Amino acid sequence: MSIDLTLVGQFVVFITMLLLMKKMLYVPLNDAMEARAKKIEDGLAAADAGLEARAAAEQAAEAQLNEAKAKAQEIVLAADKRAAEIKEEAVQKARLEAASIVDAGKDELDAEVNRVRQGLRHEVASIAMLAAEKIIASELDAKKHAALIDAEVAKGFDVA
């Protein structure tokens, strides 16, 4: 086995080609692939950060929504309570007003009844006087009349 010059030349050319390919092709290609891998890695990291930020924003929005719902519920309960108070005040006011109207009506009715009774008493008294006068005038003569007056006067002195 003999090593001739052609074989050595082929080795030199092969090694030279390897060095040139490494310098001209493999290193720039490797740098480009590393840059691309770095860019992809950065993009994935940014996507993960975006997802985390989105999740945090959704949680914050959910918390704000729950807080707003709770506040709205409090407002509704306060409004319901105030409405019930207003309704109760109106009912109490209406009851008091109704009671005062009833009392005023009773007072007016009592006054009217008393006025009518008084009128009836006067009327009955005047009718009784007229009837008594007619009866006395028809049944009593002067002697009976004098005797009745004397008897009443005597009773009056005995009582005093």
pLDDT band at 130 (very low <50, low <70, confident <90, very high): confident
The model's pTM: 0.43
Residue type, 82: R
Q: Which contacts of 15-22 are long-range, i.e. CB under 8 A and separated by 24 or more positions?
A: none
Q: What is the pLDDT of residues 57-96, one digit of tens each?
A: 999 999 999 999 999 999 999 999 999 999 999 999 999 9
Task: Pull the structure tokens for residue 140.
Answer: 């009593």
